[in-house]
Chains A and B, each alone.
Chain A
Amino acid sequence: MLIPNHPHDERLSALASGETDATADATLTAHVASCTRCTGLIDELGALRAALADLPDVAPSRPLRLLPAVESAPASAADRLGGWARRFFAPVLASGAAIALVGVIGTAAPSMSGQASGPDSGGDTFGTVAQEEAAASEAAAAAPSDAAAGGAPAAAESLRSAAEPLADSGELSAVTASPMAAYEAPDRSSDEREPASAPTTISAERSPWPMVLFAGVALMIGALVLRWILVPRAS
């Protein structure tokens, strides 16, 4: 008898393979028992499964190595260490070389650029700026002493000229600028005693590049030494 409203085919496949949730489903089994279409499908799936389970073994396409080579025998701890050393040697050596190269470039670049530009350009630029700042601060420092000596109008005039750029941009009045300028002046003037040489000295002392170069070389040497120690050599 062919009846409508067949269960989903996947449910029939589940029933064909004896899944418990399908075999315990009374509605499903009752339908299948009275439906030729579903019984036929289950029979076909059963025949298909039987044929699949009977598919023959297949001869290899090429001769296979049946026994692993001696070196792939169960690895000892030393072998494993050697394996790790061998695996990481090239990347670590390459990283060391890269770091060392960065160190070399970083170390050499400032002195090379210094030679290229010469004492006239680099030194002079800094010197000019420093001289201008020194001039400005001297003018500002002169203001309070002039005021103390009683030359108030002249002092106010010189102060205004010194603070003019600031006042123009930041609405700074001459009265508030005066004590600040007096306070900052001694520090600045002491800072500017060696305007050209001071920055060069500081940058040479704090340069990280030689350390980077050293770290890169140390990494390369370390990789070479570890490889030499850990990787077994052919005797």
Chain B
Amino acid sequence: MADAPETTPTHRTPPLPDEAAVIARAAAGDRMAFTQLMEHYQSACYGLAWRLLSDPDRAADATQDAFIHAYRAMGSYRGGIFRSWLLRITANASYDILRRAQRRPSSPLPDPEEGAPELPDLGAVNPVAEATKSELYRHLEVALKRLPEDQRTAVVLCDVYGMDYNEVAAMTHSALGTVKSRIHRGRLRLRELMAEHRELFSA
């Protein structure tokens, strides 16, 4: 788990064909190039924010905050997988919003126990996704929303987005042991929640 996945999963946005050149232009201040990059990766960033925040509006706000941070930080981008770099920024922006929402009980995040969360169209990025896969994803998303927030954050960052334990610990200002424990407990809880849909995994 020490390294991020080098290949993009099937249903995730692949890199732009001429990504290195577009990144170089954006880093040099080309606003059109920056727009092209953000347009390309907006579903990736929004998906992460939505999984962390469980709220479409806040996820959109977090994604736009991340774009502003990315715009300011483009000059300091030093190579590596651009998608991972952008997702780290998005995770930080989302986590900030999560913390602010927790400090203000007057505007709480949606309670995952109050019925199934409203799911976006998961086939939007890959319209030909198999029906079984779509069904598995749907149940997984519902189960993720039902995890306690600290476990969900750790599992989403680590297992869904491939961040390593140290990155998750730094991002959530938690001890490494705490993060590991949250991830393991989160996975075991997910396994329980998915028990009745076990057949979907083997499809």
Contact = CB atoms under 8 A, between A and B. Distances in A.
Most chain B CB inside 10 Å of its own CB: which residue of A16, A53, A57: A57
Interface in A29-68: 41, 44-45, 47-49, 51-62, 64-68
Taking chain A's interface residues, is the majority helix, strand, or loop, or is none over half, making it mixed?
loop
A193 to B, nearest CB: 66
Contact of A10 (B1, B63, B120, B188): B188
A48 B121 CA distance: 21
Nearest to B165: A19
A194 B9 CA distance: 97
A14 B35 contact: no
A61 B59 contact: yes
Interface in B37-61: 38-39, 42-44, 46-47, 50-51, 56-57, 59-60
B interface, how many residues as a size bin? Answer: 35 or more
B47 A45 contact: no
A47 B202 CA distance: 8
Interface stretch (B94-102, B103-111, B133-141): B133-141
Nearest to B36: A66
A13 interface: yes
Contacts of B9: 53-55
Contact of B191 (A48, A54, A60): A48
A72 B1 CA distance: 37
B126 A56 contact: yes
A17 interface: yes
B25 interface: no
B127 to A, nearest CB: 11
Given A44-B198, A64-B46, A55 B57 contact: no
A72 B120 contact: no
Contacts of A19: 1, 180
Contacts of A25: none
Most chain A CB inside 10 Å of its own CB: which residue of B44, B47, B141, B187: B187
Interface of A: 9-10, 13-14, 16-19, 41, 44-45, 47-49, 51-62, 64-68, 72-74
17 contacts: A13-B183, A45-B191, A47-B201, A48-B190, A53-B159, A55-B11, A55-B137, A56-B47, A57-B11, A57-B13, A57-B43, A60-B59, A60-B63, A61-B50, A61-B56, A64-B46, A73-B71
